[in-house]
A and B are shown apart, each in its own frame.
Chain A
């Protein structure tokens, strides 16, 4: 199968996921409303913090709003593409019909159980990001750097979570901790990761749980605080994480036992 077939397959799955989601209108509306609350919560939290204090050193209100909406958008996208029950389905051997399709296993897994409901979070946080951007007056080159790092960082973080779900399947037999980890990463990524320690904080949230590569560093690039050398370094680190994770993903996929044994 060529790359165009893979894309067509993923888009096709999106189409049916959205159709079945919209078929239950009330349910769809509830999910959208519920997920939009992440944006409201972040907005209120940051507004209250800046109303009662001077906020975070070196970060203006709108900059922090931008960072927070970035990390919430990423989390929303993760829930969109990664099936929260993947470990459970792997354990129960329920992925046989999906994995027997003639497509790349990664394309299959990211479109097997699309979390359309989390799009509310992506959309509402995108609105907050646009609102913050409108107050920041940034150069277009900074915005492009931000988008490049955001895409690579999100891919890297997504791969990391996928591997965690496989590890949960293989060694722990339960996936709940993975979702706690995403929640934890989301809470930590809402604020600049250097406040958790200039060296330790950045190391933990870039290499151990790479949420910083998807949110903090793109935000630094957006505000023109990332030198060209660091910009290139972050791109290389992201590519290394993606390639390494893809290799590990293929290895872990071999450990999957189908329902038939």
Chain B
């Protein structure tokens, strides 16, 4: 931890490089943003068609307006908690930059972490936060102090969990060489399990209970449910405990895997 503070200025440089990288691909960033928002819109139109055809006010106790809020909030939250670290690691491994980055006096995983925060900050500041604020303003959601504390904990845990998860996926490219398709597919799986297509509350009870015991609910569902006050404090605490436990397990697995992967890497590098 002391090292982290000592090298904070260095890590800020990585953050700045990440930020400059994302700004230099303005059109790409803009188009990705458009497709992210358009995906939310598509999900809303699909659910509107389902509600209209069912001719009911509520499905499983939730109205169509809840779906609107849920779907518009999901993507901004995913953008905040998911840093896409695997892209940076995969590129580093492919172009050999990992060897140079690893001999530097700063921690490699933290280099990546700060760099990806820099790349993501544009999306967060200009899309996610304004969009969440606008939605909360229009739907008059009153978030209490306790909920705010829970939200802060959930966001921090989610960022930690998905960063370690991304790191694990990223270092697997040492074995798999090309990650481009795999990472997209894994993203789709997490998106589905995290309630991006169907909110977790709509699943049958048994499946819902299983999904709530997976850390992927932190991708967006738990945060939205906390903001809108639709889950109990007990459920929130269980979700937090599940995520902390998952971080612990994932951290050990990633450390072991990383040590093995580094050996393979050095055998490639000579």
Stretch at the interface among A50-58, A102-110, A247-255: A50-58
Cα distance, A79 to B180, chains bound together (Å): 10
Contact A187 B43 (CB under 8 A): yes
**Interface residue tally of chain B, by bracket?**
35 or more
Contact B53 A57 (CB under 8 A): yes
Cα distance, A41 to B28, chains bound together (Å): 28
Q: Please indicate the chain B residues that have their CB under 8 angstroms from the CB of A176 in the complex.
A: 28, 32
Contact A183 B45 (CB under 8 A): no
Stretch at the interface among B132-140, B185-193, B220-228: B185-193
Cα distance, A208 to B27, chains bound together (Å): 18
Given A27-B176, A37-B185, A183-B188, A56:B53 Cβ within 8 A: yes
Q: Please indicate the chain A residues that have their CB under 8 angstroms from the CB of B59 in the complex.
A: 52-53
**Nearest A residue to B203, CB-CB:** A48
Q: Is the interface of A mostly helix, strand, loop or mixed?
A: helix
Contact B32 A54 (CB under 8 A): no
Contact A52 B38 (CB under 8 A): no
> Closest CB-CB distance, B46 to chain A, in whole Å?
5
> Closest CB-CB distance, B235 to chain A, in whole Å?
20
Cα distance, A196 to B182, chains bound together (Å): 30
**Interface residue tally of chain A, by bracket?**
35 or more
Q: Which of A53, A84, A174 has the most C-beta atoms of chain B within 10 angstroms of its own C-beta?
A: A53
Cα distance, A24 to B55, chains bound together (Å): 52
Q: Please indicate the chain A residues that have their CB under 8 angstroms from the CB of B48 in the complex.
A: 195
Given A48-B203, A171-B27, A177-B31, A79:B181 Cβ within 8 A: yes
Given A45-B198, A48-B198, A48-B204, A53:B54 Cβ within 8 A: yes
- Interface membership of chain B positions 180-214, coded 1 if the CB is closer than 8 angstroms to chain A and 0 otherwise: 11101110110010000110001110000000000
Given A34-B189, A118-B181, A174-B25, A191:B49 Cβ within 8 A: yes
> Closest CB-CB distance, A49 to chain B, in whole Å?
6
A62 at the interface (CB under 8 A from B): no
Cα distance, A183 to B36, chains bound together (Å): 10
- Interface membership of chain A positions 196-228, coded 1 if the CB is closer than 8 angstroms to chain B and 0 otherwise: 100001000000000000000000000000000
Q: Please indicate the chain B residues that have their CB under 8 angstroms from the CB of A77 in the complex.
A: none
Q: Please indicate the chain A residues that have their CB under 8 angstroms from the CB of B229 in the complex.
A: none
B149 at the interface (CB under 8 A from A): no
Q: Please indicate the chain B residues that have their CB under 8 angstroms from the CB of A168 in the complex.
A: 28
CB within 8 Å of A: which B161-187 residues: 175-176, 178, 180-182, 184-186
Given A183-B39, A184-B35, A196-B45, A84:B181 Cβ within 8 A: yes
Contact B60 A52 (CB under 8 A): yes
> Closest CB-CB distance, B29 to chain A, in whole Å?
9
Cα distance, A195 to B47, chains bound together (Å): 10
Q: Is the interface of B mostly helix, strand, loop or mixed?
A: helix
> Closest CB-CB distance, B76 to chain A, in whole Å?
16
**Nearest A residue to B186, CB-CB:** A34
B51 at the interface (CB under 8 A from A): yes
Of the residues A48, A53, A177, contact of B53 by C-beta under 8 Å:
A53
A31 at the interface (CB under 8 A from B): yes
Given A51-B204, A53-B50, A177:B182 Cβ within 8 A: no
Contact B42 A187 (CB under 8 A): yes
A38 at the interface (CB under 8 A from B): yes
CB within 8 Å of B: which A170-190 residues: 171-174, 176-177, 179-181, 183-184, 187-188
Contact A38 B176 (CB under 8 A): no
Given A172-B27, A188-B42, A48:B36 Cβ within 8 A: no
B52 at the interface (CB under 8 A from A): yes
Can you pick out 19 interface pairs between chain A and chain B where the beta carbons lie within 8 Å of each other? A31-B181, A34-B182, A34-B185, A34-B186, A37-B189, A41-B189, A41-B197, A51-B204, A52-B202, A53-B50, A53-B56, A54-B55, A56-B46, A118-B181, A172-B28, A173-B25, A173-B28, A179-B184, A183-B35
| B interface residues with partner A (beta carbon < 8 Å) | 25, 27-28, 31-32, 35-36, 38-39, 42-43, 45-46, 48-56, 59-60, 175-176, 178, 180-182, 184-186, 188-189, 192, 197-198, 202-204
Kindly list 15 other residue pairs between chains A and B, CB separation below 8 angstroms, not including A121-B185, A187-B39, A191-B46: A30-B176, A31-B181, A34-B185, A49-B50, A54-B50, A54-B53, A54-B55, A85-B180, A173-B28, A180-B32, A180-B35, A180-B36, A181-B35, A183-B39, A195-B49
